[in-house]
């Protein structure tokens, strides 16, 4: 069944892709088989993450980049990580609420995914969803994060290129510059460049980066755009293309993918362990700690042995 579904996804069947993404997000039976098949054909798409504080215009820029990429004949997938509903656990914002300009374009696919309370701005299933979108043959995959501000940094581990957005009037830019957001960026983007205060934001970013061993091409990597008017968007896409070419030429892209998979293996293992601690079989381990028969570390080692024993009887 998963092989047939993957074949349909690879052939461009949008309904099959939507079904596959739901299976991955819900951890439905067979999702591992689907991902196993997708892993062999993933790796061609340029995965670009966009993050930044709320109000900087991430959604508008994603839409503008999509428009520009389509002018160049590229197929685009958009994965928007949204806050979770406290009632259903699903995404609060619908798949297509913010991307109406691309609704009728069969070469643009938009999907919302709930963060489900994940720290760092990304759902734990994000990387799996990206693999499916990659296997579906999209040239460019844009990942828009929740917009949690200083904690919104996990996108750098899932994307090949990370854009951190700033905008005049959208919170305290200087405070944001003190966070990990600055370190995860490959490109720093000032949106709403038509605002008189935008140049000051750009100057502040440059001043902040100059204190931390700046790259030689720093000036080129701080971009000015106006997503609402389209100004600077083509140049930003050119910069994204140039970065991908550089990664390919240097061999860094292959190494980046290797590190991305290493990160995801650790995250998947943590997810498996978290699920194991929520089962009734872990109650005995907890009771042993409460009764003084073992320590928390003893219980953790016992849990690892239990998970390994259970997994050994399953297909890897």
> What pTM did the predictor assign?
0.86
**Top-confidence residue, 252 or 2:** 252
Residues with Cβ within 8 Å of residue 168, at least 6 apart in sequence:
190, 192, 195, 196, 197, 198, 200, 201
Lowest mean pLDDT, pick from 30-34, 60-64, 95-99, 142-146:
95-99
**Tally of CB atoms within 10 A around 33:** 16
- Model confidence at 95, pLDDT cuts 50, 70, 90, reads very low
- Residue ranges of alpha helices (H) inside the chain are 2-10, 14-26, 31-39, 58-71, 126-135, 155-158, 173-177, 181-184, 198-209, 218-221, 233-250, 252-277, 283-290, 296-312
Residue 119, pLDDT > 80, answer no
User: For the segment 236-262, what is each residue's pLDDT rounded down to a tens digit?
Assistant: 999 999 999 999 999 999 999 999 999
Q: Residue 292: its pLDDT value, please?
A: 93
What band does 96 get if pLDDT is binned at 50, 70 and 90?
Answer: very low
Nearest CA-CA partner of 105 in 142, 63, 135, 143: 63
Sign of CA dihedral 18, 24, 26, 28: positive
pLDDT at 147: 66
Residue 22: pLDDT band with limits 50, 70, 90: very high
Q: Which whole number is the average pLDDT over 73-83?
A: 89
Average pLDDT over residues 223-248: 96
At residue 172 the predicted structure's pLDDT band, cuts being 50, 70 and 90, is low
DSSP 82-131: EPBPTTTSSBSS-TTSS-GGGTT-TTEEEEEEE-TT-GGGS-TTHHHHHH
pLDDT at 115: 61
Cα angle 91, 93, 95; round to 5:
90
């Amino acid at each position: 069944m998963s092989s047939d579904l993957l074949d349909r996804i690879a052939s461009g069947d949008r309904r099959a892709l939507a079904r596959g993404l739901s299976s991955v997000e819900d951890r439905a039976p067979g999702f591992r088989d689907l991902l196993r098949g997708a892993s062999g054909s993933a790796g061609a798409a340029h995965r670009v993450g966009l993050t930044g504080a709320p109000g900087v215009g991430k959604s508008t820029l994603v839409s503008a980049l999509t428009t520009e990429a389509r002018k160049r004949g590229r197929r685009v997938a958009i994965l928007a990580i949204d806050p979770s509903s406290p009632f259903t656990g699903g995404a609060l914002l619908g798949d297509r609420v913010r991307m109406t300009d691309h609704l009728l374009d069969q070469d643009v696919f938009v999907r919302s995914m709930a963060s489900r309370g994940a720290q760092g701005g990304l759902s734990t299933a994000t990387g799996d969803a990206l693999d499916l979108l990659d296997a579906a043959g999209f040239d460019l995959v844009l990942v828009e994060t929740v917009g949690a501000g200083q904690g919104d940094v996990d996108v750098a581990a899932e994307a090949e290129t990370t854009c951190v957005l700033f905008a005049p009037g959208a919170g305290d830019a200087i405070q944001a510059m003190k966070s990990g957001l600055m370190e995860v960026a490959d490109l720093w983007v000032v949106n709403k460049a038509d605002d008189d205060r935008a140049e000051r934001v750009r100057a502040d970013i440059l001043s902040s980066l100059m204190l931390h061993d700046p790259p030689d091409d720093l000036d080129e990597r701080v971009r000015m755009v106006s997503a609402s008017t389209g100004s600077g968007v083509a140049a930003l896409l050119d910069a994204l293309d140039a970065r991908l070419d550089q990664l390919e030429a240097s061999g860094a892209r292959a190494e980046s993918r290797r590190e991305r998979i290493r990160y995801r293996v650790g995250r998947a293992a943590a997810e498996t362990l978290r699920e194991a601690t929520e089962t009734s079989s872990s109650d005995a381990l907890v009771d042993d700690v409460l009764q003084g028969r073992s320590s928390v570390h003893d219980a953790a080692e016992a849990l690892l042995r239990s998970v390994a024993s259970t997994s050994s009887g399953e297909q890897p």
